[in-house]
Structure 1
Amino acid sequence: MKPQTSNPVDRFRKIIPPCRYYKLKMPLDKVLQKLDTFYSLGVAYHEGNQLEKAYAYFFRFVDAVVDKLPKHPNYNALTNAYKEELCRRTIRSISTAEKLKAEILSKYCKEAEVTSDTGLRM
């Protein structure tokens, strides 16, 4: 088994760095495709019960929509209807990511308890 840190919070923090560093310096239509991909993968991994991957993709989606997309030079070309749909998806993604975060931390805490009870290192 791959060695893991026994601290559940440290394990959780390791999910985030791979999600954080990317740029959306491309045409707006490509950015929107990438956002759709992030969201779709988040949903697919969530349905497949791959919590960490689902969280990572929802995190990417929210980060891109909230932080990076409004800075795109062609952001104002988006229709209000599309912006509203992005807003709805973002709210769903935040809600889902928060639930996933709680589930992941709970899972990691249980694994840490089992590890400390048996004396095994994960």
Structure 2
Amino acid sequence: MSGTRRLVALAALTVPLALAVPALAALAADPAATYTCQRELPAPRVYPPWAHGEGCTASAGAPTREGEVSGPVDVVFQDARYSGQARYRCQTVAVYPEDDSTRLRVLGKSCLPPDQYAQHLAS
């Protein structure tokens, strides 16, 4: 193989790897927004599932105003319906205040456990 062909082959292998590393790092990074909820509310079990919580508090830097937050966003349930504490990573979360309270309600869409979320995005 000539020197030029080796350089072309090396570049062909190196460029996709260099592009993939930041994407993998973004998947591994913790989301900026986390909502910790006291209770999980019934939500439709569709694929990917939704996460619906009440009595939620926002982590530092997580929006508390009514609106939609783009993800990844973590939603943690202290009292999940099936398994005690549960953590979901969602693509988007709708945030809205509870009546007469400083607490929030959240409705996460396209939510999966964090390890499955990374696999879902990679596929």
TM-score by length of 2: 0.26
Structure with higher strand content: 2
Q: Answer with 1 or 2: which has the greater Rg.
A: 2
TM-score by length of 1: 0.27
Higher relative contact order (CA 8 A, sep 6+): 1
Structure with higher helix content: 1
